[in-house]
Amino acid sequence: MAEDLDALLDEVETKFCRLQAQGAVGKRDRGGGEEVAGERDRSAKILTKAVVDEEDIDDIIKDIIDESSFSKKPVKLKSKSASPTSERNSASIQAHGKSCCPVYLGGSSTPRGIGTNISQRSCDQLRCTACDFHVSHYNDYQWDKSCDYLFFRNNMPELSKLRAKMIKKKGSRAYACQCSWRSIDELTDLQTDRQLRWVCGKHVE
């Protein structure tokens, strides 16, 4: 009887120890799984943070590139001061450009304008390259023979002073700058008078 009781206790102890051992192993297994799961969670958080940081860096780089591109773009400012006057001046500058060819002088009956071989007109935009002065002309007048260089140098372009040596003559035209003067009665090609330094100063259409 005592031996049967001891055997029964040994069997119970053995089963109890085995159950404890299995429980400990299961607990360790569960604990290890939890640790692995925890490690995975931490790794996922680290990767997520790294991805977010990388996206932030990409956004920062993109912003820098956009700002650099913007700074390189020329800023076009539309001037508020643009006015019809400036447009007219621009159009006037573009209109300049037509010159007489050849350049003609003529009497008061000769039409004035842009002279060509076909349209023979006396130039009314003459300029002297010697004194850099506009050539004035007066219809139905001629210069007195006593005119000299000093007279025109001191009196051009004041008509009131020039009249002292202007003679009335129908059909004639008196030309003068500050260094040269001519009285013309008929159409004359300027190239035939080599002493004159007059050129066409270009016409506005």
Q: Which two tokens stand for residue 57?
A: 């860096």
Task: Indicate if the pLDDT at residue 70 is higher than 70.
Answer: no
Residue 153 or residue 16, greater confidence:
153
Q: Is the pTM value of this prediction over 0.75? A: no
User: What residues contact residue 188 under an 8 Å CB cut-off, 6+ apart?
Assistant: 104, 105, 106
The reported pLDDT for the residue numbered 79 is 46
Contact (Cβ atoms closer than 8 angstroms) between residue 84 and residue 161: no
Express each pLDDT in 17-54 by its tens digit.
665 556 555 545 455 555 555 556 665 565 555 544 55
Torsional class of 96: left (φ above 0), alpha (ψ -120 to 50), beta (otherwise) = beta
Contact (Cβ atoms closer than 8 angstroms) between residue 177 and residue 198: yes
User: What residues contact residue 170 under an 8 Å CB cut-off, 6+ apart?
Assistant: 108, 140
Q: Which two tokens stand for residue 59?
A: 């956004």
Contact (Cβ atoms closer than 8 angstroms) between residue 154 and residue 108: no
The reported pLDDT for the residue numbered 14 is 73
Q: Which two tokens stand for residue 11?
A: 């069997």
Nearest partner of 138 among 119, 165, 114, 120, judged by Cα:
165
The reported pLDDT for the residue numbered 204 is 81
Express each pLDDT in 46-64 by its tens digit.
555 554 455 566 666 666 6
Contact (Cβ atoms closer than 8 angstroms) between residue 100 and residue 175: no
